[in-house]
Amino acid sequence: MASIKETSSIVTLTHPDNKETSVTILKYGATVYSWKREGVEQLWLSSAAKLDGSKPVRGGIPLVFPAFGKNTTDKYLKDLPQHGFARNSNWTFKGIVRSYPPTVQFELNEGNANRELIKAWPYKFTILYNIELGYDHLKTSVDIRNESDVPFDFNWLFHTYYNIQDSIENVYVHGLENQATHDNITGKAAVEKNAEVIIDREVDRRYLNVDVKENITILNKKTNQLVHGLIRENLSDAVVWNPWIKKSAGMGDFEPKDGYKNMLCVEPGHIHDLVTLRAKQKWSASQYMY
Ligand code: TA6
């Protein structure tokens, strides 16, 4: 049986077949901030990350809902902060929902969402968020249900910070060749020409409508060995982000300042447009990391 440890702010789940495999979730934002696979940390977490609920966690897997980025056009989303309110809210821990592979569940709704921020988004909703700790994978799944009598529009994105132990200049991202991109730094649209996307400067690039049959992988340049792999379900887009030197220096909660050398965000989401969820309907998606 998986072992589970709960405090007022944190839940830690340990795999029954390997006590060195575990996942730790902060109830604030239902933010996974540690995933150890056989003792090796798979996610990057800033050493200055706030884990006291005072601001979204800088690292791990912050949840982005109902807006990706800073929305400037939608009637309600435009009044929300960058990346919405899911990562700024205290989610309710619902316990273990599956014993093998051990899976825990968190819930967010209009009743427990961030009191201030939810004023800008007048809908009834239930989000059930499942975190499945496999022997060799972590799967995070979301079910969003519109409890209102009217439709609502939203983005969803898992803002995953991968640990790049071997240093960023030694890896590349594969699986994005020929995909349409929007560069959030230049504002320009393009098509990815590289089979091997390298990170040698600040990168903030949105890959849009990438076939979900395409796994996205982070590979070692020298050995072509797998560093991280990602399988997406119903998440057509992916953001690749590394703040590099200047942006890292400008973020108070980004430490160590050279931490950009050991992290890379590959963020699966639906961000190319807004999902419209009709009244009483449900929308589901997941990321499977291996
Ligand atoms: O997903 C990439 C991004 O939108 C970047 O533009 C950068 O802003 C990053 O998210 C971090 O955003 P945050 O609000 O967590 O500082």
pLDDT tens, position by position, 83-97: 999 999 999 999 999
- Non-local (6+) Cβ contacts of 106 within 8 A are 25, 27, 30, 91, 92, 93, 94, 128, 129, 131
267 in catalytic set: yes
Q: 148 CB less than 6 Å from ligand 1? A: no
Calculate the average pLDDT of the chain: 98
- Residue 46's Cβ-count burial label (10 Å; 0-12, 13-18, 19+) is buried
Going by alpha carbons, the residue nearest to atom 10 of ligand 1 is 69
Share of the chain above pLDDT 90, in %: 99
Ligand 1 binding pocket includes 237 (Cβ within 6 Å)? no
pTM of the model: 0.98
What average pLDDT does the segment 147-155 reach? 98
Choosing from 15, 182, 267, 270, the catalytic residue is 267
Q: Residue 118: phi, psi to the nearest 5?
A: -70, -15
Mean pLDDT of 272-276: 98
Structure tokens at 62: 């912050």
Q: What is the mean pLDDT of residues 31-60?
A: 98
Residue closest via CA to ligand 1's atom 2 equals 241
Confirm or reject: Cβ of 239 under 6 Å from ligand 1: yes
3 state SS of 60 = coil
- The CA distance from 134 to 136, in Å, is 5
217 near 175, Cβ under 8 Å?
yes
Tell whether the model's pLDDT for residue 2 goes beyond 80. no
Q: What is the pLDDT of residue 1?
A: 76
Rounded to the nearest angstrom, the distance between the alpha carbon of 183 and the centre of ligand 1 is 13
- 223, containing H or E segment: none
Instruction: Please tell me whether 232 is known to bind a ligand.
Output: no
Q: Confidence class of residue 107 from pLDDT cuts 50, 70 and 90?
A: very high
| Contacting residues for 201 by C-beta, under 8 A, at least 6 apart | 244
Cα 20 to middle of ligand 1, angstroms: 31
Q: How many Cβ atoms from other residues are within 10 Å of residue 276's Cβ?
A: 12
CA distance 117 to 96: 29
- With a 6 Å cutoff on the Cβ, whether 53 touches ligand 1 is no
For ligand 1, whether the C-beta of 49 sits within 6 Å is no
pLDDT tens-place string over residues 218-262: 999 999 999 999 999 999 999 999 999 999 999 999 999 999 999
Ligand 1 touching residue 204 (CB < 6 A) = yes
Which atom, in ligand 1's list, is nearest to the CA of 82? 14
The pLDDT value recorded for residue 90 is: 98
For residue 88, the model assigns a pLDDT of: 98
User: Which domains are present in the chain?
Assistant: 3-166+243-289 (2.70.98.10)
Nearest ligand 1 atom to alpha carbon 83: 14
Indicate if the pLDDT at residue 176 is higher than 80: yes
> Is-catalytic flag, 20?
no
- Write down the pLDDT at residue 239: 98
Residue 281, classed as helix, strand or coil, is: coil
The DSSP result for 125-184, as a single string, is: EEEEEEEEE-SS-EEEEEEEEE-SSS-EEEEEEE--EEE-TT-GGGEEEES-TT-EEEET
